[in-house]
A and B are shown apart, each in its own frame.
Chain A
Amino acid sequence: MKGGGFWSMGGYAQYVWPCFAFACTVLAWNLWAARRYHAEALLRAKRALAMNGE
């Protein structure tokens, strides 16, 4: 597949590209949310440690 044909996806671009955009969004969200969840858990563990005066 070359040039313009690639982006037009044989006339189905309006269906194909949003699917890949959704997939990228879902994968990126999963990574971001998991890292945030771990970071928040680390913070809570550190706070618990500080509250115990250790």
Chain B
Amino acid sequence: MWTWFYRLASPPHVYRTAALLTPWFMTAAAVAIGYGLIDGLVFAPPDYQQGDAYRIIYVHVPSAWMSLFCYTAMATAGAIGLIWRIKMAHAVAAATAPIGASFTLLALLTGSLWGKPMWGTYWAWDPRLTSELILLFLYIGVMSLRPAFEEPDRGDRAAALLAVVGVVNVPIIHFSVVWWNSLHQGATIVKLDKPSIELSMLWPLLSMGFGFMCFYGAVLCIRLRGEVLNRERRAGWVREAMKS
């Protein structure tokens, strides 16, 4: 039953599986993002209050979702690496960090550009914006901590620990609009009640979200292959792979 789990810990298996999955993820991402862009920019109706400015939602929300998803994935991989001492889990965490940081930066930039016409300012020290900015700092901290140690294992453990501790920020970001007074609007899609967004606007958004997720999968696979090679370059299987 646990064979699949043990195989995930095998570097050659991870290296080969990542190579196989990359084109599938990339194709799915291209189709979903392509559909989401066309439907969201051309066919979805303008919002009755925000007009066409709301179309920023099609890049802002998926990037914000991914910023949280990547952090949770990084912290989970870090925890697995800490508990079961699986090297590949640390490799997944290391490969995820720059991707998650870039999505967080994108969420902050697009949110800022959306804020100007709607709130009259590019930035406010609002709970949602501030906690998202803290998320970016956490990503930068995790990325900086790993290479700060001479021994890679210690760097992996320190980065994993920071990632696990920092995961407390994820529910804070999500519930910040509920717990505190915020300029940012409340939850529109991820909530117990049904989504408060019209279906013709929702479908392209879900498609973009799925596309961003698949894109993360593709980029993770490519980065993970580099990460595995860097960690295993003196291993026998790498020598065999290089010769063939």
Contacts and interface: CB of A to CB of B under 8 A. Distances in A.
A19 B113 contact: yes
Contact of A23 (B42, B59, B227): B59
B53 A30 contact: no
Contacts of B238: 45, 49
Nearest to B216: A30
Contacts of A6: 41-42
B223 interface: yes
Interface of A is mostly: helix
A47 B4 CA distance: 33
* Chain B interface extent, by class: 35 or more
B56 interface: yes
B52 interface: yes
Contact of B226 (A12, A22, A40): A40
A31 B69 CA distance: 19
B219 A34 contact: yes
Contacts of A42: 226, 229
B106 A54 contact: no
Given A6-B42, A12-B52, A44 B117 contact: no
Interface in B95-117: 98-99, 102-103, 105-106, 109-110, 113-114, 116-117
Interface string B207-244: 00000000100110011011101100110001100110
Contacts of B223: 34, 37-38
Interface in A1-41: 1, 6, 9-12, 15-16, 18-20, 22-23, 26-27, 29-31, 33-35, 37-41
A46 B230 CA distance: 11
A39 B215 CA distance: 19
Contact of A44 (B102, B110, B233): B233
Contact of B51 (A11, A22, A33, A35): A11
Contacts of B60: 19
Listed from nearest, the 7 A-B pairs whose CB atoms lie closest are A10-B52, A38-B226, A41-B229, A41-B226, A12-B53, A34-B222, A23-B59
